[in-house]
A and B are shown apart, each in its own frame.
Chain A
Amino acid sequence: MLRDITLGQYYPADSLLHKLDPRVKIVGTIIYIAILFVADNVWGYLLAAMALGVMIVMSKVPVRFIFKGMRAIIFLLMITVVFNVFLTPGRVLFQWKAIKITYEGLLIAGTMAIRLIFLIVGTSIMTLTTTPNQLTDALEALMSPFKKIKLPVHEVAMMMSIALRFIPILMEETDKIMKAQMARGAGFDSKRLTDRAKSLIPLLVPLFVSAFRRANDLAMAMEARCYRGGERTRMKPLQYCSRDYMSYAVLWIVLIGAIVIRVLLPAMV
């Protein structure tokens, strides 16, 4: 039941995107988000769609797998669309009593939906092609300028990677404890809210206990191996190579393209 959550999941494959330096992928994702917000006409969105299409093909991740993650946000998407369609003032296309649909409403709802979908798909391509470890290494590297203002960059990155690592473990643990309590006749599907909240105690208490136990074990194991924080060197330091520089160049060119389109071509609304 908990296995459908694909948030932040990694999909192993042998593709150019997988091999790319994770720093490039993070910067690329940020640039992609920027492109989405720069776009204000059909050509801008077409450019974003093309970029996304090329990335999906290059990632070698099955399309079905990429869109599986969309299920989680479908509800959010629907709310956004419905509110925008019905509540935006403007040229009325259709009216029935108090409900009216405007041209502007449809346009804004449509562009919002496209932006949201592109945003989620774009970021999931990054997480699907980058292992959590690479991701945190890259974040640490990209955030290192903040060390100057005494931000514990290494510690923050370490905490993130541990948190990510623990998500699947805790899910598995939840599944196990749930089954074990169900074997003792517990039900997790009561209709009344108070009953349901109460029925979570036999799940949450052991889950917390186990999370603390695991945290404790991990801290002990790290100390036993003399972990001292940021002063260590890396076994596999991040190193740019020519394809990474090329990717940066392409990214900037696409961003400039998006800005040029916005400046030169008329906006939709």
Chain B
Amino acid sequence: MLEFVDVEYYYDSDMPGATPALRDINLKIEDGEFVGIIGHTGSGKSTLVQHMNGLLNPTKGKYIYDGTVIDAKSGNLKELRAKVGLVFQYPEHQLFEATVLEDVCFGPKNMGLTDDECKKRAVEALDKVGVDAKYYDASPFELSGGQKRRVAIAGVLAMSPRVLVLDEPTAGLDPEGRHDLLNMLKTLNDEGMTIVLVSHSMDDVAKYARRLVVIDNAYIAFDGTPTEVFSHKSELVNMGLNVPQITGIMQSLKSNGFDVDDTLFDVDAAAESIMKCLDRK
């Protein structure tokens, strides 16, 4: 379980007039959840998730993982980093080994596992993200963008984290790659892994996350189910966000006098709701 208690974070706390990148963060994420974190660029999403594996420590307040307070004095954080896997934005930029397999082995190796165990984990992880065995000995730099991204994610998965945090993992992917990636996250979540998905696209997170946390200007603005969050359309628009396209259409239909359910964000459900409304007429 991840828990933030009154967390505040400053990048330059010694500068006069510095503004916090995070403020008043109170957030609890239980095991097995699928949480979407949304916010405009610069709202503090990346700062927030870097607290989750101890890369950043709160300036004020506490961050607690499974009952242990994580701060600058926590010493060795390798264990925490194996439990909370963090995939950075554009993770393909961190590939460095000569072959795909070796690169994925880097995390397990740092955990002190034997070579055989590392390899086993790497193969498992590559399998999960859908990288074919024929690429294992290829140089990661020769792969296509989408494949690089998969390999990089496998590099984190190979540490068998209990919580997987991804910072805008779909940025720059084509619709198909995006769809594959999100489905993979869903599968991992069904197998019991906690997933925290950062995004600025409502359409991406709405379909998969069962809970949305909206960050605006260093604060948590909303925290609830997608349906709850999308009912605040005007506030979301003010934050530079939007409701998913489907929800937007349903909301306009409703405000134009059609009796449809304006909280939907799924194409099929929306179609059904519209059909029902038309039948009634």
Report which A residues bind B (CB closer than 8 A): 3, 176-177, 179-187, 201-202, 205-206, 209-210
Cα A176 to Cα B167 in complex, Å, equals 13
Contact B82 A185 (CB under 8 A): yes
- B94-A185 in contact (CB<8A): no
Q: Tell me if B141 and A209 are in contact (CB < 8 A).
A: yes
Asked if A186 and B50 make an inter-chain contact with CB atoms under 8 angstroms apart, the answer reads no
Contact A202 B159 (CB under 8 A): no
Q: How far is the CA of A184 from the CA of B156 in the complex (A)?
A: 6
Q: Which of B66-74, B103-111, B183-191, B193-201 contacts A (4 or more CB under 8 A)?
A: B103-111
Tell yes or no: B101 within 8 A of A by CB.
no
Chain B, 79-93, CB within 8 A of any chain A CB: 81-82, 85-88, 91, 93
- Bound-state Cα–Cα, A187 to B79, Å: 12
Q: Other CB < 8 Å A-B pairs besides A184-B81, A184-B107, 18 of them?
A: A176-B93, A177-B94, A179-B50, A180-B91, A180-B93, A181-B94, A183-B55, A183-B85, A184-B156, A184-B159, A185-B82, A185-B106, A185-B110, A187-B110, A205-B96, A209-B96, A209-B141, A210-B93
CB–CB A206/B95 < 8 A: yes
Of A182, A183, A206, chain B has the most CB atoms within 10 Å of the CB of: A183
A206 and B92 CA atoms in complex are apart in Å by 9
What are some 25 contacts across the A-B interface (CB < 8 A)?
A3-B12, A176-B88, A177-B93, A179-B50, A179-B55, A180-B91, A180-B94, A181-B106, A182-B81, A183-B55, A183-B86, A183-B88, A184-B81, A184-B107, A184-B110, A184-B159, A185-B81, A185-B107, A185-B159, A186-B110, A187-B78, A201-B96, A202-B94, A205-B96, A209-B93
Report how far A184 CA is from B103 CA in the complex, Å: 11
Report chain A residues within 8 Å CB of B57.
Answer: none
A197 to chain B, nearest CB (A): 15
User: How close is B219's CB to chain A, nearest CB, in angstroms?
Assistant: 24
Chain A proximity of B151: nearest CB distance (Å): 12
Q: Which residue of A lies closest to B12 (CB)?
A: A3
Partner of B88, one of A3, A179, A202, A209: A179
Complex: A210 Cα to B95 Cα, angstroms: 11
* CB neighbours of A3 from chain B (8 A): 12
Residue from B82, B91, B96, B107 whose CB has the most chain A CB atoms within 10 Å? B96
Give the complex CA separation of A186 and B81 in angstroms: 10
- Which residues of B have CB within 8 Å of A180? 88, 91, 93-94
* Closest CB in chain A relative to B55 CB, distance in Å: 5
Kindly report which residue of chain B lies nearest to residue A202, judged by CB atoms: B96
| Chain A neighbourhood of B58, CB < 8 A | none
Chain A residues positioned under 8 Å from B55 (CB to CB): 179, 182-183
A171 → B minimal CB distance (Å) = 14
Q: Which residues from B are CB-within-8-Å of A185?
A: 78, 81-82, 106-107, 110-111, 159
